[in-house]
Every structure is written in C-alpha cells, then in structure tokens.
Amino acid sequence: MDTGLAAAANGVPEAATELVCQYEQRGDCVLVRSGYLDLSGRVWSMVVEGSGWVDVCIVQSASGGTSETKVMHMDAAEWEASLGELGLGG
C-alpha cells in the first residue's frame, strides 16, 4: 500500500474540493463515497475506485487554518495478499 501526505495552505473545504477535481480530471476512476467524518468539519474523506485499485483520501485541518491531505493507495494484488494473510483469500 502506498501512502502520500501533503500539506496545503488552505482549509479543509478548499483542499477537499481541489482533491476531488484532481481525481475528476484523471478520467480513470469513480467517486465511491465522500463526506465529513466528524461533526465539526475538521476531517473529510473520500474513497475513489479505479480499475484494479482504490484510494482512501483524508483531509484534516492543521494549525493556522491550513490542512493536511493523506492518500492511501492499494491495488488488487495488495488486497489479495492482505486477504491471504487473514486466511480469506481464494
């Protein structure tokens, strides 16, 4: 699983909008789910699926009105290996 972390000078709503636009411009994936994970609007997430891969993205507020974005990427081979380790692979 690949993990990326990036800081932004803008807040959660702006960083989330920018992230969604980046995936939309790719044209090789679909948005599965998105929304805030808390009631105060400090942590937002989305799940994006492509052919044989999935990204779980989290945008959370940081100090001074900035935000931090984390993207966790996993492809089908990694999912299969993870399930095999749990004895659930086929």
- Domains plus CATH for the chain? 2-85 (3.30.310.80)
Percent with pLDDT over 90 in the chain: 67
Mean pLDDT for 49-60 is 96
- For the whole model, what pTM was predicted? 0.81
For residue 4, what pLDDT is reported?
66
For residue 34, what pLDDT is reported?
97
Quick check: 35 and 56 in contact, CB under 8 A? Answer: no
Q: Comparing 83 with 56, which gets the higher pLDDT?
A: 56
